[in-house]
Amino acid sequence: MKILVVDDNLSMRRLYASYLRDVCELSIASGGREALEYSRKERFDLYITDLIMPGMDGIQFIKKLRTIHPDAGVIVVSQTEEIDLAIGAFRQNPLEFLRKPLKKNLLLNAIQRTVEIRKLRENVKDLRRESTSDPGCPSPVVGESPVMQTFWEKVKRIAEMDLTPAVLVSGESGTGKEVVARQLHRWSRRSAMPFISVNCGLMTGELASSELMGVKKGVATGVEPRKGKFQIANQGTLFLDEIAELPLNIQPMLLRVLQERVVTPVGSTEEIPVDVQVIAATNRDLSQCVSEGRFREDLYYRLNVVQLSIPPLRRHPEDIRPLLEHLYRRHGGRGEMPVKERELALWTRCRWPGNIRQLESALINRMIDDRPMDPETIGVEPARTGSGIMDLNDAMPWSEIKRRIIQFNMDSTGGNIREAARRLGMAKSTLWEYCRRNGINGTE
């Protein structure tokens, strides 16, 4: 470790050198100002300083040091009669205090304690970072296209509002509605509090009421009291996924919670106040559900105070590359991503009806099989664009026409020899040999 000793007394500096030169990388300063100059150029693991020094005493040095390295470990060394100054030093939060005359074993023990305390503080910081991070949501947010940049800017504006209106997240299946809800929670002032996710499509009427509102003790024989999701999420965020599937008889209960900000557990008459940010999500048209009588109109308007509509993947294909790279790392991928440039061009041109969820599934299978993707086998097809027209004319020799047709099919299949051969009605071995002789890149 690197230690900086600050003492104006030459004999003390020599003593420190004899004690520490074999156990650390030692630097020595004769005063506070010199020590600050060292500290601005280099960070030390520990500072050992005297209190009484000309020019800048130990208290002043510690104050200045804290502005440069707020978490620096400090050991203060002082004479017994300097106790008043020592008390002032402790107000500056040094980690250890030693009296002169200085003994080697006490100094080494103090250094060891300081190192251990520093490690504990670093561990606490790491734990705090882990506790506020969310494995269900990438950070930073993935999405480089203008469409998604605009979308995430809106999410952030909503999250930073002082008010906490209900938010309705809509989008096709697989667009990442829960990811959006988690990011909204992460950017909000509630980020340190719970994020609770509930799938409304998995709850029956009776289960939904007890799950959301809780159960009172003694409501029935053998039934234990428990808190509902609203109480568990208090001060935090409650995410109601598949809100269109919420049983009709439970919808009035949810409406009352949104209106009154209180819950009444099953079997109880007690009203329990709750402060919860409610985010609901659906891939269905809630207004259509209202028209069909399957969703309450008043609840719809309570939930739809702020609406976030997630763009489908086909609207921002330029994000496919960063999404694939993120998903590849998330699933334990190391080194270079297996989807190469030619194949990536095919993935980018494909329409993904299952959106990011389908893209993720395709990548996982690509990582397992280590073979280029066959669009037909995973239910996607290249989007039809003007680039599907080949530039051919009567003046071209047959060899050039043949080369262009093969090159076009190789490009459209991402270099997949097997798929291109199937489309061309050729033997795979024949196409492989042609590509090899004509410098056309392809993969098995």
Q: What are the structural domain ranges in the chain?
A: 2-131, 146-309, 317-438
Q: What is the pLDDT of residue 129?
A: 46
- Alpha carbon distance 147, 143 (integer Å): 8
CA 1 vs. chain centroid, Å, equals 33
What are 392-434's pLDDT values in tens digits? 555 567 777 787 788 777 776 767 788 788 888 888 888 888 8
Q: What is the pLDDT of residue 4?
A: 93
Q: What is the pLDDT of residue 64?
A: 84
Q: What is the pLDDT of residue 97?
A: 83
Q: What is the pLDDT of residue 83?
A: 58
Q: What is the pLDDT of residue 126?
A: 55
Q: What is the pLDDT of residue 291?
A: 92
- Alpha carbon distance 195, 161 (integer Å): 18
Q: What is the pLDDT of residue 384?
A: 47
- Alpha carbon distance 359, 353 (integer Å): 9
Q: What is the pLDDT of residue 87?
A: 62
Q: What is the pLDDT of residue 369?
A: 77
Q: What is the pLDDT of residue 220?
A: 64
Q: What is the pLDDT of residue 86?
A: 61
Q: What is the pLDDT of residue 299?
A: 94
Prior bond of 225 cis (ω within 30°): no
Give the residue ranges of the chain where pLDDT is below 70: 70, 80-95, 121-141, 205, 218-223, 373-396, 412, 414, 441-444
Give the CATH architecture of domain 146-309.
3-Layer(aba) Sandwich (3.40)
Q: What is the pLDDT of residue 30?
A: 92
Domains 2-131 and 146-309 share a fold: yes
What is the reported pTM? 0.57
Q: What is the pLDDT of residue 112?
A: 86
Q: What is the pLDDT of residue 252?
A: 92
Q: What is the pLDDT of residue 437?
A: 78
> Cα–Cα distances in Å, from 334 out to 320, 325, 337, 390?
19, 10, 8, 38
- Alpha carbon distance 218, 77 (integer Å): 64
Give the homologous superfamily in CATH for domain 2-131: Response regulator (3.40.50.2300)
Q: What is the pLDDT of residue 342?
A: 76
